[in-house]
Structures are given as C-alpha cells and as structure tokens.
Amino acid sequence: MSELKKLISDTLKTAMRAKEKERVTIIRSIQAEIKRVEVDERIEVEDDRVLAILDKMVKQRKDSFQQFTDGGREDLAEVEKKEMEVIAEFLPQQLTEEEITDIVKAAIAETGATGMQQMGAVMAIVKPQVQGRGDMSVVSKQVKALLG
C-alpha cells in the first residue's frame, strides 16, 4: 500500500473515532475515487497517481465552488470549500508562483523551446514536477507567457 493511501486510511480511522461525520464522508469519497481508478484500470495506484486523483478532486471542487458562488448558493459553496480543505490536507505543500516560474524556465531551457509549438514538450517536463503541488492552469498560463 502506498504511503499516501495509508495516511488517508489512518486519517479516516481517526475521524471516525472523533465522530467527525462530515470529515469521514469526505475521506470516504477520496477512498472511493482511488478504488474506482484501481478497479477500472486493474492496477494498484502509487503515490504519484493518488496525487493526480486528489488534484483532480480539488479542481472539481474549485469549479463547483465558483459556480455556486456565481449562482448565489453560498450554502452549497461552503460545502465545496470544506471538501477542498480536507482533500488539500493530503496534498504536499503548494508551490509559489515564483517556484512555478523557475520550474517552467528550467524546462524551457532544457527543451530549447522557442515558441508555442514546443509547449507540449515543456509541459511534459513541468507536469510531473508540479502535479499535486500547483494549479496546472497557472502553469499553462506561465508557459504560454514565456513562450508567447
């Protein structure tokens, strides 16, 4: 079992003992999503894949939070915000914009990219370094700005 999956399981047990119903529900949804991927793809997911799953779950919650906020549904937006906070507990420390910029510049130098045609090559180098530690839309914007 990967370290991250074990941490999620241990956190669930702690939340259950503390009778934190909302937290238990959210952590169970994380485990369900990981299990869904394992069953669908017939694999045992490792930490890097768990990070990608968690990253995707946070992104989904951010989108929902924005839609609920725009629609004036603060009650539902608050639920999404709480879910984001619990999921984010399992993600590593987030990178600052400066750190992301440094990673992007290093990838551009490594690939020798000079224009938007090489954006895919740059992103291929940057994505594994940033996965779970930064917002990929921010990364994409920075790559476009530096290559554009």
Separation of alpha carbons 131 and 31, rounded Å:
19
- Over residues 31-53, the pLDDT tens digits come to 999 999 999 999 999 998 999 89
- Over residues 61-73, the pLDDT tens digits come to 999 999 999 999 9
Check residue 72 and give its pLDDT: 95
- Over residues 111-127, the pLDDT tens digits come to 998 888 999 999 999 98
- Angle among Cα 49, 91, 58 to the nearest 5 degrees reads 80
Q: 1 pLDDT exceeds 80? A: no
Amino acid occupying residue 83: E
Please give the distance of CA 117 from its chain centroid, rounded to a whole number. Answer: 26
Q: How many residues does the chain have?
A: 148
Q: Which two tokens stand for residue 138?
A: 């921010």
Q: Which residue has the tokens 């485990």?
A: 31
| C-beta of residue 8 within 8 angstroms of C-beta of residue 27 | yes
Q: Tell me the domains of the chain and their CATH numbers.
A: 3-88 (1.10.1510.10), 97-147 (1.10.10.410)
pTM of the model: 0.81
